[in-house]
Amino acid sequence: MAAIEVDSIVRDFGSTRAVDGVSFHVEAGEVVGLLGPNGAGKTTTLRVLAGLLTPASGHARLAGLSVIEHPLEARRHLGFLTASTGLYDRLTGREVLQVFGRLQKLDEATLAARIEALVKELELEAFIDKRCGALSSGQKQRISIARAVVHDPSAYVLDEPTATLDPVASRDILELVRRAKARHKAVLFSTHRMEEAEYLCTRLLFMRAGKIVARGTSAELLAQSGKATLTDAFLHFAGALS
């Protein structure tokens, strides 16, 4: 059973087909990169996987649980992170973690232990009790990472999490992925940064116009495209190169 499973998903917005029969899976311990130009359908696919959007047809499962039929149970296995930190400015970092931990049904003792572990791991000591509105972008990003994984999910879905970050803050995300891989988590990672994809991902999926047009390791994609770099391969699959 794959930790993340997407099967023949179709999703329309009005007369536009945003996702057209996309299928893939991510096994535990795998980091799969989801690549593609803007409007390719990456975010829609990830939102379907997170239960934010309902597919016209197809299935999405987390830890074998359908996100449509068993949304709450499925989402207990999901750690979802985007470029937006999505924090409450008037709450402290600790309060944010407590709210999301409780929503994931962690008991108070487990939650307290989990928060302390994350504080040490992500080096949050200096600002965990400050209101999020007063934190720097990098500090917010680290609280956001802690929020996404406070319940120790088995599947990580990261939607362009480094898109708006500077290299220092991006490093925290890459470190999160590296640690997740080491802990045998399944990671689905959407990005525009080819060096990140090459560095982190065991496999790559390339989307264009709502479909997966190429898949494989970075070496396999280079071979399929006949290009020397992943950036050129990206341009090739995006149709920007002849």
Query: Under the criterion CB under 8 A, does residue 53 sit at the interface with another protein?
Result: yes
Query: Under the criterion CB under 8 A, does residue 154 sit at the interface with another protein?
Result: no
- State how far the Cα of 96 lies from the Cα of 102, in Å rounded to an integer: 10
Among the listed residues 76, 114, 142, 236, the single contact to another protein using CB under 8 A: 76
Query: Under the criterion CB under 8 A, does residue 103 sit at the interface with another protein?
Result: yes
Quote the least distance from Cβ 144 to another protein, whole Å.
8
CB 165 within 8 A of CB 83: yes
Quote the least distance from Cβ 162 to another protein, whole Å.
15
Among the listed residues 85, 154, 190, 218, the single contact to another protein using CB under 8 A: 85
Region binding another protein by CB under 8 A among candidate stretches 1-9, 78-86, 192-200, 220-228 = 78-86
22 is written with which tokens? 């996309």
Q: Please count the residues of this chain forming the interface with another protein, following the rule CB under 8 A.
A: 36
CB 221 within 8 A of CB 230: yes
Among the listed residues 45, 82, 141, 154, the single contact to another protein using CB under 8 A: 82
Question: Which residues of this protein are in contact with another protein, per CB under 8 A?
Answer: 13-14, 50-54, 67-68, 71-73, 75-76, 78, 80, 82, 84-91, 95, 99-100, 102-105, 131, 144, 147, 151
